[in-house]
Amino acid sequence: MDVTISQSRVAGRVRAPPSKSYTHRAILAAGYGAEAVVADPLVSADTRATMRAVEAFGGSVDRDADGDARLSISGFDGRPEVPDDVVDCANSGTTTRLVTACGALADGLCVFTGDDSLRSRPQGPLLDAIRQLGGRAESTRRNGQAPLVVGESIDGGAVSIPGDVSSQYITALLMAGAVTDEGIDVELETELKSAPYVDITLEVLDDFGVDATKTDDGFSVPGGQSYAPKGGEYAVPGDFSSMSYLLSAGAVAAAEGDRVLVEGARPSAQGDSAIVEILESMGAAVGWDRDAGEIAVPRASLSGTTVDVGDTPDLLPTIAALGAVADGDTVIENCEHVRYKETDRVSAMAEELGKMGASVTEERDRLTVHGGDTDLVGARVDGRADHRIVMSLAVAGLAADGDTVIEGAEHVDVSFPDFFDAMESLGAAVDRHE
């Protein structure tokens, strides 16, 4: 599906979707336990992949008959069954990594694969960690990428793993380690990138009654634990990654004297809440009522800034779009790991914003958007089958002169299925066409 975004003014109240990161972890945490309800989940293409994996391991996931407000999950109680078939993780890298460690607990062998994009993403360090724990872990093509074969019932132990490729490896090991006999101690060989995502994991584990801690050189989770949220229910908070597009829409395109107000913004461990400080550093007057969970953003004359995205890789596309509207240079540093997502998001934003008239300098670990040399104009751009690229280009399209046609816009279903409905509700001119 293609979507055309025309230069628009926006205003009004909109609700952020539930957090994809928390939903993934909560679904699998419930799967590790006996039974639990996950309230207010994000039901999207990615999280449905995690639901399918829980069912493949012998659990069940029942969705609320009146909608997606609650998931009733019967788990596999710490010991996943060997799936009857290959588990298709579709486009979800989070699903793949989290369930790969889970599959290593199985008595037999589990096979995980996904679409073309997923089969290009690095999994080697996680496979090596499973082998260190005595499990079997192989890439069928011997390139460290899916399809993956894992199993042979790991008991726990100590592993050494790099921290600068994906924090999801650590999340996967901590979640699986809690139900092993010995627990798992994770030693980081390099600095941890995307550290707030491990903080999210620790928060979810704690909410499910599982103890895991940071150590001097990594993380540790004792074995023999059980997953059970207090009262049998866990509620998913709003998603700051998705919120970043709505807040940015307000900053670049809010109607004169009005603002965009985003609901569902209660504080949590999400690193991407940094979007609030980033917008403020660029000159936006952001009002965050933390008790009410509401953030209001009026349009602002934005100025360039410098942002290190080592801990917030998912914000790079949003920041790049903001930089194309701002005056001066916006420098995005420490971003090499952002090249290993659904697509190479560094190159993708450089190239697609370039089609819209942006002046951009791309380096291996840095992206500079020269807003002062940019006059954004509508163009036909490629969403790269990546939800975050699509939504960021839509934000740029609000401020561009003319019409911006985004190819592959249906991929917002990965994390924010109602994104274009939300934009229309704020007054954006949106035209969907096949």
Q: Is 166 annotated as a binding residue?
A: yes
- Please check the confidence at residue 434 and state whether its pLDDT lies above 80: no
Q: Is 88 labeled as catalytic in the residue annotation?
A: no
For residues 157 and 134, give the distance between their C-alpha atoms in angstroms, rounded to a whole number: 9
pLDDT digits (tens, 9 = 90+) for 5-29: 999 999 999 999 999 999 999 999 9
Instruction: Give Cα separations from 138 to 35, 156, 231, 298 (angstroms).
Output: 31, 18, 39, 51
Note the pLDDT of residue 322.
Answer: 98
- Whether residue 432 is annotated as binding a ligand: the answer is no
- Mean pLDDT across the stretch 78-89? 98
Q: Is 131 labelled as part of a ligand binding site?
A: no
15 marked as part of a ligand binding site: no
pLDDT for res 320: 98
Per CATH, which fold does 20-235 belong to? Answer: UDP-n-acetylglucosamine1-carboxyvinyl-transferase; Chain (3.65.10)
* Residue 66 in this model has a pLDDT that exceeds 90: no
Please tell me the predicted confidence (pLDDT) of residue 102: 98
**Span(s) in the chain for CATH 3.65.10.10:** 2-17+238-433, 20-235
Q: What per-residue confidence (pLDDT) applies to 63?
A: 87
Is residue 9 part of an annotated ligand binding site? no
Q: What's the mean pLDDT in 280-298?
A: 97
In this prediction the pTM is 0.85
pLDDT score for 65: 64
266 assigned binding-site residue: no
Amino acid, single-letter form, for residue 178: A
User: Is the pLDDT reported for residue 395 higher than 70?
Assistant: yes
The answer to whether the annotation marks 299 as part of a ligand binding site is no
The 10s digit of each residue's pLDDT in 220-276 is: 999 999 999 999 999 999 999 999 999 999 999 999 999 999 999 999 999 999 999
> Is residue 167 part of an annotated ligand binding site?
yes
Task: Catalytic residue, from 314, 329, 382, 386: name it.
Answer: 314
Q: 67 falls in which pLDDT band (50, 70, 90)?
A: low
Confirm whether residue 388 is marked as ligand binding.
yes
Residue 283 burial by CB count (10 A; 0-12/13-18/19+): exposed, middle or buried? Answer: middle
CA distances from 22 to 40, 158, 203 (A): 11, 26, 9
| Residues 265/269/270/275 CA torsion (nearest 10 deg) | 70
CATH of 2-17+238-433, one of 2.60.120.430, 3.65.10.10, 3.30.1330.10, 3.20.20.70: 3.65.10.10
Determine whether the annotation assigns residue 384 to a binding site. no
Q: What pLDDT digit, counting tens, does each position of 292-327 carry?
A: 999 999 999 999 999 999 999 999 999 999 999 999
Does residue 200 register a pLDDT over 70? yes
Q: Decide if pLDDT at 68 tops 70.
A: no
Mean pLDDT of all residues belonging to the chain: 96
Percent of the chain residues topping a pLDDT of 70:
99
Give the mean model confidence (pLDDT) for residues 166-171. 96
pLDDT tens for each residue of 356-367: 999 999 999 999
Provide mean pLDDT across the span 406-412.
97
